[in-house]
Structure 1
Amino acid sequence: MGSSSEADREKQYAPAKVPLKVIIVGAGIGGLAAALSLGKRGHHVHLIEFAPEIAEVGAGIQCAPNMTRILDRLGAGVKVRSTGVALEAIHILRWQGGTLLGSVPISQEHGEQFVVHRADLQMSLLEKALALPNVKLQTNTRVDDVQFSPAAVKLNDGSWVHGDVVLAADGIKSMIRGKLLGDDKDVAVPTGDAVYRVVLTREMLSHYPELLPFIEEKKAIRWIGPGRHIIAYPVRNHEIYNMALAHPDRGRVDESWTTVTSKDNLLADYDGWDPNLVKMLDLVPEGDVLEWKLCMHMPLLRWVRGSCALLGDACHPMLPYVAQGAAQAVEDAASLGVVLSSISSKDEIPTALLAFEKAQKARAEHIQQSCLTTRAALHLPDGPEQEARDQKFRALSAGGDSDDKWGDPEFQKFIWSWDAEAKAEEAWKGEFLAHSADAHSRRSLLVLTGRRDEARGRNAKPAMIASTD
């Protein structure tokens, strides 16, 4: 696609009514997207990252239409489109023999579904954010404490960084989440699954004509079987084949994405599966198999406290079964950009953050639950339930529903049609009106009781302060 169409997709946002100093903790996809979303609206963003540098971690990532739409508006979609692969279908294969159970054409109704290398997406967001003069990145820095009102974070050298807002994009092991909730009850619950991550190059597959279609075609493949499933697709212009393989957790690893495991473990877990799959796994070099434990987190009581909000994996970590982890973090970033740019006074910051929570929390939790539903459906043991499920898969190409939520047309509509910015605008208007009405009621009561000075606000708190701290 030409540069003119790419430029047309990028949105020129109106400057924020009240430019804020925003501290963002964590420079993953969610943190970078938030920095860009806020930076493009004129806020002053201080991005703090624990790692010494923003390095390539992970491999493939799926950019669903609800995510790509936002990336385009932020100007970060160009690299997604130039290096990613626009999927045309999802094929579901039986574990034994690789029999095709069903095929779901990917509708273009809500936009294209891209698959990209995670590093390409992260670098695109980073470059766009740091090109803004009002965004700065501080690496090799740990945040040890947080203050909710007024907003501030304490760094590992003992110094404090003060701002108007703190956004915690510090991931699944978020320190700030525990502080915000005020207890240590948010404990990761093992799902019983772990995931292998491997990548193959075109050169590796080129010696096997029967394997080349996997990397050359614009389709994602799901192999499903008892207690296991695999999702695989090409990235980087069909030069890399990305594979994520869910399997029973053996207690060997934690939630880290960087633990190397033995290739023998990988091969043992998929012994007897589709010969083409086994052939691909046999090509993986020893030392290139990563494994991590999949844990789930219960929905949080709240995402917001005072002038601080959680986003992304810090508040709604997603199991990888419906490909929405990164997308939901980017939605959060877009939503925060809207609500924090709508305020007329810094006193309204807590109200804006509550509007963000109102816009995104219930949706994210619904998607979290769908991940568990999909996991159960994909991992059925062979038997009557599995046969009934497979019959539904066979009806997919005719528009039937699916137990695999990622491939279900109705669920796709729910996920992919969502416009996070529009929903945030609606939530802000609703939250603002609710707080305005509440403030009016308080003033009316004060007038009726004769406390007119307080009614005029001489001794009262600003009307828009939300009592969330």
Structure 2
Amino acid sequence: MAQTQQASPICLDIIVVGAGLSGLAASISCALSGHRVTIVESAKELLEIGAGLQVTPNSSRLLQAWDLHGQLWESGAEPSCLTVHRYSDGKVLAHDADFDQKMRTRYGAPFVDFHRVDVQLALAARARELGVTFRMGQKVEDVDFESATVHLSSGASATGDLIIAADGLWSRCRDCFFGRKDPPKPTGDLAYRIVLDLDQIPEGELRERVASPAVHFWIGPGGHAVGYSLRGGSMYNIVLLVPDDLPEGVSKQPGSVEEMRALFADWDPVLRQYLDLVDSVDKWKLMHRDELPRWVNDKSNFVFIGDACHPMLPYLAQGANSAIEDGAVLGLLLGYIQKKEHIPQALHMYERLRKTRGEAIVRETFAQRKAFHMQDGPEQVSRDELFLSQLGSELQAPYPSRWSCPDVQKWLYGYNAFKEVQEAVQQDPFREWSFSASL
């Protein structure tokens, strides 16, 4: 099915709160559907904190369709294989060879590892090309849900036909929606995030791994590590997932390199050699939220997307990918409306399509954490035996790594937002409709 986008015959004024990946994706998709879009962002410039970002085929097909600048694709690294190692000795438990070609063949789009900032800046540049207005350094203080107005810390305000709350894990819009503070909850895990430049890595096996892009997991008791190349094999991204020891109320702080190394003292020597090259590191508390009963307000002039409504642990790399999907689907649906009276149906169709998938991904992510963080013992032995029984053969579900499990991978990576929206609208064409009338 062709990946096309149609423009609505009416032009809505849409306010997007947040210029992260979900907000930028929504702004592009809404602009392509013929609407006027204004992004309100609290930061003064677009340099999102972060490191590596694994863009899987379910969202890379969207980035391709949006015609992002070619330099973004040149900055990526397509992993040629995906390998799972036992933590203690580096023993290979699973090896998915020719991974880059498999992804393109199976799903018609690549699996690409990027630096997060590169993706954000490419999305922002495309949004500007499409006429999206950016209001930077503007923090949202309050939301008037009757008039679809956001009130800003500067004293200014912005009113539209629709507000898209894309302001992330610590969403101010969410607080306004509930009329109270609604902070995210700790998961019990934290992440050390590391980026090494190639010139920091000595000649030899370590550098060769970086220059030949691949994804390596080390799975062990209570945590795991993942390493992969960025920027065409000139950088190496490592994420270490371990039990959370940050104080209550602290979401990020500088970490101790010595403490980090001590946590992995008994792990694979290859991983430890990379960690020996690190001179500074930050610790990030991993947070989540309970499922929201609804993503759309009663007046159908306000809607949540991305981490503001379904934050995800990084264990399947779907937080950013799912947020991009959200923005795409919402904008695509708004391209089908013929009059403003169709907005409620478009928003509730978005909620129906995305809420089910987003919350299912969250559950799979927690299941992946369990499979990768098993303590040494009988259950871990059975997991490793299952891995090894399929090493070098065609994989069968269920499989401990959802990155390669044929059932989960197909469901995650085979998702096509264009197809889903087209089929949904064909089955339930827009009409004059209200949410209350549909109950």
Which residue is 2:184 aligned to? 188
Tell me if the contact between 2:305 and 2:326 (Cα under 8 Å) persists in the aligned partners: yes
Which residue is 2:163 aligned to? 166
CA distance in 2: counterparts of 1:382 and 1:242, whole angstroms: 27
Q: Pick closer, same or farther for the CA change 1:12–1:426 going to 2, 3 Å.
A: closer
Q: Pick closer, same or farther for the CA change 1:312–1:156 going to 2, 3 Å.
A: same
Q: Secondary structure at the match of 1:406?
A: coil
Which residue is 1:5 aligned to? none
Which residue is 1:202 aligned to? 198
Check if 1:410 corresponds to 2:410: no
**Greater relative contact order, per chain length (Cα 8 Å cut-off, separation 6+):** 2
CA distance in 2: counterparts of 1:276 and 1:195, whole angstroms: 19
CA distance in 1: counterparts of 2:220 and 2:69, whole angstroms: 35
Q: Secondary structure at the match of 1:405?
A: coil
Which residue is 1:262 aligned to? 256
Q: Secondary structure at the match of 2:315?
A: coil
Which residue is 2:145 aligned to? 148
- Calculate percent identity across the aligned residue pairs: 35
Q: CA deviation at 1:403?
A: 1.6
Q: Pick closer, same or farther for the CA change 1:265–1:254 going to 2, 3 Å.
A: farther
CA distance in 2: counterparts of 1:213 and 1:392, whole angstroms: 30
Check if 1:280 corresponds to 2:274: yes
Which residue is 2:119 aligned to? 121
Runs of 5+ consecutive residues of structure 2 not aligned to the other structure: none
Match of 1:375 among 327, 352, 369: 369
Which residue is 2:320 aligned to? 326
Amino acid of the structure 2 residue aligned with 1:223: W
CA deviations on 1:208-229 (whole Å, 9 max, x unpaired) are 4121232022310000111110
Which residue is 1:350 aligned to? 344
- In the superposition, the TM-score normalised over structure 2's length comes to 0.92
Check if 1:426 corresponds to 2:423: yes
Which residue is 1:104 aligned to? 96
CA distance in 2: counterparts of 1:98 and 1:194, whole angstroms: 23
Q: Pick closer, same or farther for the CA change 1:316–1:397 going to 2, 3 Å.
A: farther
Amino acid of the structure 2 residue aligned with 1:230: A
Q: CA deviation at 1:183?
A: 5.5
Tell me if the contact between 2:4 and 2:418 (Cα under 8 Å) persists in the aligned partners: no
CA distance in 2: counterparts of 1:112 and 1:171, whole angstroms: 26
CA distance in 2: counterparts of 1:355 and 1:431, whole angstroms: 9
Match of 1:69 among 61, 77, 91: 61
- In the superposition, the TM-score normalised over structure 1's length comes to 0.86
Which residue is 1:234 aligned to? 229
Tell me if the contact between 1:321 and 1:374 (Cα under 8 Å) persists in the aligned partners: yes
Give the alignment's Cα RMSD to 1 decimal.
2.0
Structure 1 residue ranges, 4+ long, deviating more than 4 angstroms after superposition: 181-184, 252-256, 429-433
CA distance in 2: counterparts of 1:348 and 1:143, whole angstroms: 27
Check if 1:175 corresponds to 2:172: yes
CA distance in 2: counterparts of 1:102 and 1:342, whole angstroms: 45
CA deviations on 1:371-417 (whole Å, 9 max, x unpaired) are 11011111111111111111222215411332222232221100011
Which residue is 1:303 aligned to? 295
Q: Which stretch shifts more, 307-316 or 402-411?
A: 402-411
Q: Which stretch shifts more, 37-46 or 313-322?
A: 37-46
Which residue is 1:7 aligned to? none
Q: Pick closer, same or farther for the CA change 1:150–1:347 going to 2, 3 Å.
A: farther
Q: CA deviation at 1:251?
A: 2.1
